[in-house]
Amino acid sequence: MSERILITGGSGYIGSNIAAALSQRPGTDVLVVDDFSSGDWRNLIHVGCEVRAADCNDPALLDEIANGEFSAIYHEAAITDTTVMDQRLMVEVNTNAFADILEASSRSGTRVIYASSAGTYGNSPAPNCVGKGEEPENIYGFSKLAMDRVAYRWHDKHSAPIIGLRYFNVYGPGETHKNEKDGNKTASMILQLYEQLKSGKQPRLFKYGEQKRDFVYIRDVVSANLAALDAPRSGVCNVGSGKARSFNDIINNLTQLLDIKVDIEYIDNPFSFYQEHTEADLNESKTVLNWQPDWSLEKGMQDYISLLENGHRGPVEHKA
């Protein structure tokens, strides 16, 4: 008998990669539900799944969840643009809808795996540890922290695990639709800088390119999500590489991979909430998920740039 797994936001970047992996998993049927406000149908062309256009807290969908029609739920639907400042909208879409899903899933005892964010840490000192330094700098980060708090309140009332995955700076195949949807502003810096270099533009970084991020390759993000299907208990886990790297490192890697030379233009940073240094502490991830990343920045960028240079679009093939 097949498992049926629900993925909200499944036409988006991470959701479509999860769908691609699960669709290859024996005995698994995948339902993608998306309102297509930020995702893209082209991400699902080669993914063997059922697709439904709807809000993630659509009453009919919530009834299906409550009736136990899914063996697991991946909740990836969200406003992911960190520059959106409409507080009510952000909390309604990100936090309220998640609470509706948890209430419905509690009736059926369905496992829920959801997308949290490293934005919950704001500019707290790295390394970033779950339960410490949770001081978001914008409404996006707060909406994700509020989701984590809602999940904690349901832990004792929910018979199946609820697992939150705090994604750090994810990059890799499946994000190219962001070029067209939002002018590339929510795409990874790796893709943004690659596109700048390929178009002959001089790369621009905030002064002086030494801000550090934990860049995590999409293949590792997918493997963490698959590991969450077997997690024995609820919890919130960081999903990152565990090693911070600078934006200058990204440029250096790109110029080597593309065999070009560039002059970097350093500009003032207009964002007061900009994170200067993120780095995932992975202790909880190893304990709860029995997971750790496999892809270094160099290895991940080499794989990604090779795919981009060959015209690859959409999620990468995964072995589930």
Active site residues: 140, 178
| Token output for 229 | 């299907």
Rounded CA-CA distance 254/259 in Å is: 8
User: Roughly what angle, to the nearest 10 degrees, separates helices 13-23 and 218-227?
Assistant: 60
Tokens 């199946």 found at = 160
DSSP state of 19: H
CA separation (Å) from 287 to 158, 228, 284, 291?
Answer: 20, 11, 5, 8
**Preceding peptide of 127 cis, ω within 30°:** yes
CA separation (Å) from 13 to 48, 145, 146?
Answer: 16, 21, 22
Rounded CA-CA distance 165/238 in Å is: 6
- Phi and psi (nearest 5°) for 309? -65, -25
Rounded CA-CA distance 202/111 in Å is: 47
| Token output for 316 | 């990468």
Tokens 């995955």 found at = 165
57 CB-contact burial (10 Å; exposed 0-12 / middle 13-18 / buried 19+): buried
C-alpha closest to that of 304 among 174, 151, 210: 174
With beta carbons less than 8 A apart as the criterion, state whether 64 and 33 touch: no
DSSP state of 266: E
DSSP state of 312: -
